[in-house]
Amino acid sequence: MRWETLVEHWPLLAEGAVNTLWLTAATVLVGFVIAFPVALARNARNRLPRSLAAGFVFVFRGAPLLALLFLIYYGAPEIPLIRETWAWTLFRDPIPCAAAALSLNSAGYLTEVIAGALRSVPHGEVEAGKSLGLTRLQVFRFVKLPNAVRAGIRNYGNELVFILKGTSVASLVTIMDVMSAANQIYFNTFDLWAPMLAAACLYLAFIGAITVTIRAVERRLRVPGH
């Protein structure tokens, strides 16, 4: 292991770190936008949306991330609906493909996190809200949501860590993330330990930041006296 390797090649790692963070941010955003309505459907009173949402969870939680990524990245050009419309400008590029695969994959897990958090709100509190004359939307907004956020924040933090770790898979479709940068430095210098150790430290630092942030949010949300 040589430190000079890192001194010489750090810009590549920096580029990788930026891409890893971008990919994580995009996945967190899109994953949530997908998962929230599916979680509502998962808890619906009607059977049809409930089983559709269960199917969504089964498919995207059961399939490996890499299989999903390859299906989208290599398979998308074969779908006429994608090949011949504006979607092609998006799916031609590996980064949107990776973001799509990561988002769907994490939405599978996130749906259960959100649906579980919403279900954990005691029924009595919902009834109390109704008896005070709140509308269904108000009950959701002022009773269910705040309690669910409190109940689900820790699991959500775990999911964020899984998303960050998952982004490393994007290195297998030519995206220059931290993993890819470390790999490339290794192939250029034949020094394995310096880039891998640096990559490991970057991932640990990112995960540390996520954990600290989630803890702080958790503290802030805590009801005094509970």
Partner 1 sequence: MTWSLFAWGDAGWGDELVRGLAVTLALAVLSFLGGVILGTLAGLAEMRLRYVGRVLSVYAAIMRALPELLVILTVFYGIGPLVRLGGQAIGIDGLGLSPFWAGTLAISLVIGSYVSEVAKGAIAAVPRGMGEAAFALGLPQRRVTRLIVLPLALRHAWPGLTNLWMVTIKVTPLVSAIQLEDFIRAAGTAGQNTKHYFLFFGAVMVVYLALSGASMIAQSRGEQRLFRHIGRPSP
DSSP symbols for 23-83: HHHHHHHHHHHHHHHHHHHHT-SSHHHHHHHHHHHHHHHHS-HHHHHHHHHHHGGG-HHHH
Per the listing, tokens 């959100």 go with 114
106 binds partner 1 per the rule CB under 8 A: no
Binding of partner 1 by 165 (CB under 8 A): yes
Instruction: Mention every residue, 6+ apart, whose C-beta is less than 8 A from residue 170.
Output: 23, 69, 94, 95, 98, 102, 177, 179, 180
Question: Least distance from C-beta 46 to partner 1, angstroms?
Answer: 24
Distance CA 215, CA 218 (A): 5
Restricted to residues 56-95, the positions that interact with partner 1 (CB under 8 A) are 58-59, 61-68, 70-71, 74-76, 78-79
What does the per-residue mask of binding to partner 1 show for 188-217, with x meaning CB under 8 A? ----xx--x--xx--xx--x----------
CB–CB of 65/105 below 8 Å?
yes
Q: Is residue 179 a contact residue for partner 1 (CB under 8 A)?
A: yes
Local structure of 200: helix, strand or coil: helix
- If the CB atoms of residues 78 and 89 are measured against partner 1, the closer one turns out to be 78
**Which CB atom, from 39 or from 181, has the smaller least distance to partner 1?**
181
Note the residues at the interface with partner 1 (CB under 8 A): 58-59, 61-68, 70-71, 74-76, 78-79, 161, 165-169, 171-172, 179, 182-183, 186, 192-193, 196, 199-200, 203-204, 207
